[in-house]
Chain A
Amino acid sequence: MRSNAADFEVIAPQNLKDALAILDAERGVYTPLAGGTELMVAFGAGRLAARRLMSLHLLKELRFLDVTAERVTIGAGVTFTDLRRHPVISADFNLLSHAASWTGSIANQNRATLGGNIVNASPAADSPPALLVYDADVTMASADGMRTIPNSEFHVGYKKTALRPQELLLSIHLKRNYGSYVSYIRKVGTRNAQAISKVAMAGLARLNGQVIEDIRLAGASLRDVPARLPETERALLERSVAHESLADTIARSRASLASGPLAPAPISDIRSTAGYRAAVAANLIDEFLRLLARS
């Protein structure tokens, strides 16, 4: 059953200061609306619970991409198309441009924003695994000022975030530190284009010879939030991917995935089963380790 548009109030502040003042004065009243590729689906299906929305489309302060020698700062209103077209994102953060390229269709990438993908807080979202392995930070703004936290602390539970009712996600920060790293990302869905993932895995590792000196792994749909796999990362640190050691290294990875408080705990839902997700996650990490062995 379609929603009736006349039942919804939408305001569209002209600038960030006005938007934050309204969110501060009327806490929890307005739901932010960015590109609309999530909320308008709910609206079309008659299940958009929020009745009062704040459209962010006029806030130029959210749509910027700032590059310095040390870091890149991405405004929350930057679209996936903006990310795909940016030469520094493709060169230095190819995991993010890959994730952007398979986030919905081109028509959706032209509207959907990185900030919306993060704030929507789906455990299956495409960009968070890439942001997690790059150790991104996120900045939130309110009428009182700004605060910055690690992206890994932003998602606190299923569809729950650290964002307060009077705050907007302002920007995402990435350090340009990863020139010497080997990167890996793969999404497994029902179709190559615009399917929501069953499982996705991003990986980043630096080798000393054939020994893993640093490794970061992050997955989508493996827990109730997008998350790093710290136990597997620890199990793989200082391990070798040389021909004679690779089987043992893969066995350690698989053992770490099978148990432990921070091991993946995939759910069964409409898109896949827990067993399939766990098996595919292990296979994807194997694939990354074999890639490291060849690099």
Chain B
Amino acid sequence: MITIKFEVNGCDRSVITPPLKRLLDVLREDLGLHGAKEGCGEGECGSCAVLLNGELVNSCLLPVLQVDGAALVTIEGLADAQELHPIQQCFLEQGGAQCGICTPGMILATHHLLARNPHPSLEEIREGLAGNLCRCTGYTRIFHAVEAASRRIAESA
């Protein structure tokens, strides 16, 4: 067992854990953060995605020892107190979430995309979200939500 210290959604956290435990399991089992979901468990579906030092990663493929000292953001850390993040609000308004399993990963992948490319083309949105699978929406409403979020963030800047 080793002690891992890291920042999760702005708070310092510490866990005692086997070093190879998947970050996804540490988040869900040790820290009670159930937003990141296990879909495939092999890095293909993106439903476990979180931000590691600002970069999108699949937490099902990350041994927890590799995040010692890092700053993580999960879906639980995106909203500001009682107010949804504009990306979350746009997914809600545009029907970009249905069953909800892919939604945390979709929203964090969108966050990662818009942080680097605030006004992506449809093709760039498709590429930015290609690692996140959705079996409900057919993706079109998700892409509309990303476009709406891009506009809303620009308007509020």
How far is it, in angstroms, between the C-alpha of A36 and the C-alpha of B58 when the chains are bound?
10
Residue of A nearest to B130 (CB): A193
Check A6 for interface membership: any CB of B closer than 8 A: yes
Residues from chain B with a CB closer than 8 A to the CB of A81 are 55
Q: Does A8 touch B at the CB level, under 8 Å?
A: yes
> Does A25 make an interface contact (CB < 8 A)?
no
* A10 close to B (CB within 8 Å): yes
In contact, A45 and B42 (Cβ under 8 angstroms): yes
B140 to A: closest C-beta gap in Å? 17
Nearest B residue (CB) for A40:
B61
Would B63 and A55 count as touching, CB distance under 8 A?
yes
User: Closest residue of chain A to B45, judged by CB?
Assistant: A105
Q: Are B112 and A40 in contact (CB under 8 A)?
A: no
* Residue in chain B with minimal CB distance to A42: B42
Instruction: List the A side residues contacting B109 at CB < 8 Å.
Output: 106-107
Q: Does B41 touch A at the CB level, under 8 Å? A: yes
Assess the A108–B41 pair: CB atoms within 8 A: no
Determine whether the beta carbon of A105 is less than 8 Å from that of B20.
no
A-B contact count (CB 8 A): 98
**Known contacts A107-B131, A193-B127, A194-B44; is-contact A55 B22 (Cβ 8 Å):** no
Task: Across the interface, name the chain B residue whose C-beta is closest to A9.
Answer: B19
CB under 8 Å from chain B, chain A span 1-54: 3, 5-6, 8-10, 12, 33, 35-37, 40-41, 43-45, 53
CB closest chain-A residue, reference B53? A110
- Which residue of chain B lies nearest to A51 when distances are taken between CB atoms in the complex? B20
A189 in contact (CB, < 8 A) = no
The contact of A105 among B17, B21, B46, by CB within 8 Å, is B46
Residue numbers in A under 8 Å from B66 (CB-CB): 36, 55, 57
Identify which of B22, B41, B42, B49 contacts A107 (C-beta below 8 A): B49
Which single residue of chain B is at the shortest CB-CB distance from A33? B63
B60 to chain A, nearest CB (A): 6
Residues 47-79 (chain B) with a chain A CB within 8 angstroms: 49, 52, 55-58, 60-63, 65-66
Cβ contact within 8 Å between B131 and A5:
no
A113 CA to B60 CA, complexed, in Å:
17
In the complex, B43 has a CB within 8 A of chain A: yes
Contacts of A165 in B (CB 8 A): none
Judged by a CB distance under 8 angstroms, whether A180 is at the interface is no
Interface range on chain A (Cβ under 8 Å from partner): 20 to 34
Contact A105 B43 (CB under 8 A): yes
CB closest residue in chain A, given B128: A106
B95 sits at the interface (CB 8 A): no
Contact A44–B19 (Cβ < 8 Å): no
Shortest Cβ distance from residue B18 to the other chain A in the assembled complex, whole angstroms: 4
Residue pair A194, B60 in contact (C-beta under 8 Å): no
Given the complex, which residues of B lie within 8 Å of A36, measured CB to CB?
61-63, 66
- Chain A stretch 50-69: residues in CB contact (< 8 A) with chain B: 53, 55, 57
- Over the window 107-141 of chain B, the binary record of Cβ atoms lying under 8 Å from chain A Cβ atoms (1 yes, 0 no) is 00100100000000000000110111000000000
Q: Which residue of A lies closest to B58 (CB)?
A: A107
Residues of B within 8 A of A12 (CB): 19, 65
Judged by a CB distance under 8 angstroms, whether A295 is at the interface is no
B interface footprint on A78-113 (CB within 8 Å = 1, 0 otherwise): 000100000000000000000000001111101100
CA A5 to CA B65, docked complex, whole Å: 12
Interchain CA distance A107-B52 in the complex, whole Å? 10
Which residues of B line the A interface, CB within 8 A?
Answer: 17-22, 25, 41-44, 46, 49, 52, 55-58, 60-63, 65-66, 109, 112, 127-128, 130-132
- A interface residues, Cβ below 8 angstroms from B: 3, 5-6, 8-10, 12, 33, 35-37, 40-41, 43-45, 53, 55, 57, 81, 104-108, 110-111, 192-194
21 contacts between A and B (CB under 8 A): A8-B19, A8-B20, A10-B19, A10-B63, A36-B66, A37-B43, A41-B42, A41-B43, A43-B20, A44-B61, A45-B41, A45-B42, A55-B66, A57-B66, A104-B43, A105-B43, A108-B131, A110-B52, A110-B55, A110-B57, A192-B130
The 7 closest A-B pairs by CB, nearest first: A105-B131, A193-B130, A5-B18, A5-B21, A10-B19, A40-B61, A8-B20
